[in-house]
Chain A
């Protein structure tokens, strides 16, 4: 496997972990309710960008 393929494979795994973490985190925080509406998932679109970005920087720094 080339370096680029290995990086891509790691990125795919990391992204899956980020989304899994975000969505399970959202499901496990019942105290973040507004009038019975769980608002937390709305933030996942932005949060996954932060997590992806941080991971990519970390991964590239290892090269």
Chain B
């Protein structure tokens, strides 16, 4: 039996493992798999009265212990100390029952392999913790590549630096080194490539068709701006960079009305309407969407990205797009990526240079980060999963 977290990019690799019993952490993912003729159960199917009863007892015991504990807040700021000193039981109260229930239901289901797309968010980390405690292999197939940034905090100061899974499938040499620096054992890592990038190996479609889908003229240049969202797990994400960069980009775009613009927002950002409103207020005609990334990139003549993002790597595989990152700090060791400050003049100049000059050579960048782009990452991960499961 393989237990998997909710990650749609896993579907092709799970299809290759469908002769094994598949169990998902979320009923919606089970439905997606069964709709695609891959038989799967949900972990909730293993729930019974015994599991619920044990979990309820544990939740009460844990909450009592938390409420009775005087937390040492040494090293924390006054506000953080207050939070820790007064609010922790309140935070834990609604969460302990579910957590305890998951441990007991996993003990009942007894998966032989756990597959997660990250091992830091609450439920995937709990599953990875369970696997570690029970000696069950846990294969982490990262949902993204954590990238370098000039302002990145030192190793060990970001929640993503923590490794709980026993094995990690990595995209390429950069990601392997990244996890090795954080203590991962090279013997438990393989450069398989990542399933979400398999799509980049197949034909990307024609630019003209992509322009038509966005109702853009194929004879005029298209600039795609990829935005982001605040990610508060890292204090760098608390900055106003997303808003400031976008305002500067719109001011630059306003000076170049002959160009066409697509603004692609982050699917988890919940800020698409805000982006559309700001474009309208700035008098910039732009197609604003949180979907259709691949079509937008196919239509593009260049990419302007805020901060650092895997979308830059996805755009690189098209091999004809100049790549610009706004805000500085991103891809510090990769000259192929142009870095500009969040200033209208600098952005406008980078766009004009990018459209005027021949596209950069990007094979080195692609190999460093994405490894082999041959459409076979799912196959390689599935083979490894089968070995671990045996």
Binding site for B on A (CB under 8 A): 8, 11-12, 14-21, 23, 25, 29, 31-32, 34-39, 41-59
Contacts and interface: CB of A to CB of B under 8 A. Distances in A.
B157 A16 contact: yes
B65 interface: yes
A52 B235 contact: yes
A56 B83 CA distance: 13
Given A21-B75, A32-B66, A14 B235 contact: yes
Given A12-B235, A19-B157, A52-B238, A43 B122 contact: yes
Summarize B's interface: helix, strand, loop or mixed.
Answer: helix
B76 A34 contact: no
Sort chain B's interface into a size bin.
Answer: 35 or more
A25 B77 contact: no
Contact of B162 (A18, A23, A49, A58): A23
B122 A42 contact: yes
26 contacts: A12-B235, A15-B157, A15-B158, A16-B154, A16-B156, A18-B76, A19-B157, A19-B159, A20-B75, A21-B75, A32-B66, A35-B58, A37-B129, A37-B133, A39-B100, A39-B129, A42-B122, A43-B95, A44-B125, A44-B159, A44-B162, A49-B232, A54-B79, A54-B80, A54-B83, A58-B79
B79 A34 contact: no
A34 B232 contact: no
A58 to B, nearest CB: 4
Given A35-B103, A45-B120, A12 B77 contact: no
B235 A32 contact: no
B159 A55 contact: no
Interface string B145-186: 000000101101111011010000000000000000000000
B234 to A, nearest CB: 7
B104 interface: yes
Nearest to A32: B62
A28 B65 CA distance: 13
Contacts of A35: 54, 58, 103-104, 107
